A = this chain, B = another copy of it.
Amino acid sequence: MRDMKQSHLFTKTRKEAPADEQARNAELLIRGGFIHKEMAGVYAFLPLGFRVIEKIKNIIREEMNAVGGQEVYMTTLQPRDIWEKTDRWDDSKVDNWFKTKLKSGEELGVGLTHEEPIVDALSEYVSSYRDLPISIYQIQNKFRNELRAKSGILRGREFIMKDMYSFARTEEEHLKIYEEVAQAYHRVYKRLGIGHITYRTHADGGIFTKKFSHEFQTLSGVGEDTIYLDEEKNIAVNKEIYTDENLAKLGLDKEKLVERRSIEVGNIFPLESKYTDALNVYYTDENGEKKSIISGCYGIGVSRTMGVLAEIFSDDNGLIWPESVAPFQVHLLVLGEDDTIRAEAEKLYTELTEKGIEVLFDDRPDVSAGEKFADADLIGIPYRVVASKRSIADGGYEVKKRTEENGKIVALDELLNLLKANG
């Protein structure tokens, strides 16, 4: 489905935000027909939203493959035993499991993360130093039984997530992978259009490690997080580790830090050998000695990222998708019911789609120009191209970027060049 006629698209836009929705990202995405709210924190992705999700996934996938990641697809249903080995089964230890039961009465988990099953599967394949290092990733739904869920797709009970897990022989090898993945993350955010406002942020390493973990934080007024940012050095620290001691460790000068609101768009985490040891997966080194495997995990919330983009790239009229993840590149509008004009627009639609340009064609009859313009602004496709009696009389089509105030009339050739140059 590279192209689509809007008369055929089953979703419609809405003027009003749903009453039960407080988050701007969900309001806009529901109004545009990108997502459907199944219940609080649980959203389905409709055709426009599905396309955005797939584009975000593909950018992440390309960058994970570029650092040697191997993609797998794990199961949602989780057996109790592997989680007991790491002491993450009991609800008193991990308080946001969804659990279910087999007919035999045996309790199962509904996958909230996948360190345990990935490490457990590895035990069948890894035994020697020759088998390492390895990086494995997955892009799929995760489930967290949150008490409240009010942030739209920024924090869901069911959400789409990329998680990579790395397994190395030594601390040195681990750090090399860790830094490569961090660089891959910067490339992902750059391609998503938020590279310039996304900072690697030092954060607490939690119970696993004395080292810092790292978040990737995108500046945003609606962010739940507070970071302290050194704009010169391009790094930040999370509020929870904002102490004189930590700043000294990191060589940061308190005077130069500015406080900012931000949203976490990714995190990378040294796991030391916590899970591999607990699940009894070791390797034998060149000298026949049994050694611990050093691992790391690397997450990016795919659906959350879509929500972040909706929060950041939007104005009073609607969404403003970056070209890399827009559901279509061009929103072609035909105005009026004139048969000649409609035929011209149909021809242009065919021409663009044959050139591999992704077009949403607003071919709806009996819909006013004003409504079509409002929908185009709400849906937020990068280029709006209008075919009307006036544009044809003026020698072509009116093209306007979603980020621009005014369009201009261009002939077909010029339009094709413009879209090609930006495609």
Q: Which residues of A are at the interface with B, using a C-beta cutoff of 8 A? A: 1, 4, 8-12, 33, 36, 38-39, 42-47, 49-50, 53, 65, 68, 70-79, 98-103, 108, 110, 117, 121-122, 124-126, 131, 134, 136, 141, 143, 145-147, 157-158
Is the Cβ of B50 less than 8 Å from the Cβ of A147?
A: no
CB contacts (< 8 Å) of A43 on chain B: these are: 75
Closest 3 CB pairs of A and B: A45-B73, A98-B100, A47-B70
How many copies of this kind of chain does the complex include? 2
In angstroms, Cα B111 to Cα A38, docked, is 12
Which chain B positions have C-beta within 8 A of A100? 98-100, 110
In the bound complex, residues from chain B placing their C-beta under 8 Å from that of A136 are 10
Contacts of A70 in B (CB 8 A): 1, 4, 8-10, 47
A38-B117 contact given A12-B125, A125-B11, A158-B77, CB 8 Å threshold: yes
Which residues of B lie under 8 Å from residue A39 when comparing CB positions? 77, 79, 108
**Contact yes or no, A10 B122, CB < 8 A:** yes
Asked whether A50 lies within 8 Å of B73 as measured between CB atoms, the reply is yes
Residues of B within 8 A of A71 (CB): 1, 47, 50
Query: What residue in chain B is nearest A11 (Cβ atoms)?
Result: B125
Please determine whether B143 and A76 come into contact, CB atoms closer than 8 angstroms: yes
In contact, A38 and B72 (Cβ under 8 angstroms): no
Contact between A157 and B77, CB atoms less than 8 A apart:
yes
A340 to chain B minimum Cβ distance, whole angstroms, is 24
Nearest CB of B to A144, in Å: 11
A121: chain B residues at CB < 8 Å are 36, 44, 46
Residue of B nearest to A127 (CB): B12
Inter-chain contacts of A74 with B (CB < 8 A): 38, 44
On chain B, the residues within 8 Å of A146 by CB distance are 103
Residues of B near A79 (CB, < 8 A) are: 38-39
Interchain CB contact under 8 A, B44 and A103 = no
Expressed in whole angstroms, the Cα–Cα distance for A126 and B46 within the complex equals: 14
Nearest chain B CB to A121's CB is how many angstroms away?
5
Instruction: Please state if B73 and A158 are interface contacts (CB–CB under 8 Å).
Output: no
Residues of the B chain whose Cβ atoms lie less than 8 Å from the Cβ of A42: 75, 77
Q: Which B residues lie within 8 Å of A11 (CB)?
A: 125
Q: How far is the CA of A143 from the CA of B33 in the complex (A)?
A: 27
In whole angstroms, how far apart are the Cα atoms of A79 and B33 in the complex? 21
A–B Cβ pairs within 8 angstroms, 17 of them = A10-B70, A10-B122, A10-B125, A10-B126, A12-B124, A33-B125, A38-B77, A44-B73, A44-B75, A45-B72, A47-B70, A47-B71, A50-B72, A98-B108, A99-B101, A102-B157, A103-B145
Nearest B residue (CB) for A74: B44
Which residue of chain B lies nearest to A73 when distances are taken between CB atoms in the complex?
Answer: B45
Give the distance to chain B from A283, nearest Cβ to Cβ, in Å. Answer: 13
Cα-based distance from A179 to B145 in the complex (angstroms): 43
What is the CA–CA distance of A53 and B75 in the complex, to the nearest angstrom? 14
List, in ascending order, chain B residues with CB within 8 A of A76's CB. Answer: 76, 110, 141, 143, 158
Query: Besides A42-B75, A50-B72, A76-B76, 20 other CB < 8 A contacts?
Result: A1-B70, A12-B125, A36-B124, A38-B74, A39-B79, A42-B77, A43-B75, A44-B74, A44-B117, A47-B71, A50-B71, A50-B73, A75-B158, A76-B141, A77-B157, A98-B100, A98-B101, A98-B108, A99-B101, A100-B100
Residues of B within 8 A of A108 (CB): 39, 98
CA distance A342 to B336 in the complex (A): 67
Q: Could you say which residues of chain B place their CB within 8 Å of the CB of A75?
A: 38, 42-44, 158
Residues of B within 8 A of A134 (CB): 10
Which residues in B have their C-beta under 8 angstroms from that of A158?
A: 75-77
Query: Which of the residues B8, B131, B143 comes within 8 Å of A77, measured between beta carbons?
Result: B143
A38 to B120, CA, bound (A): 9
Instruction: For A103, list chain B residues within 8 Å (CB).
Output: 145-147
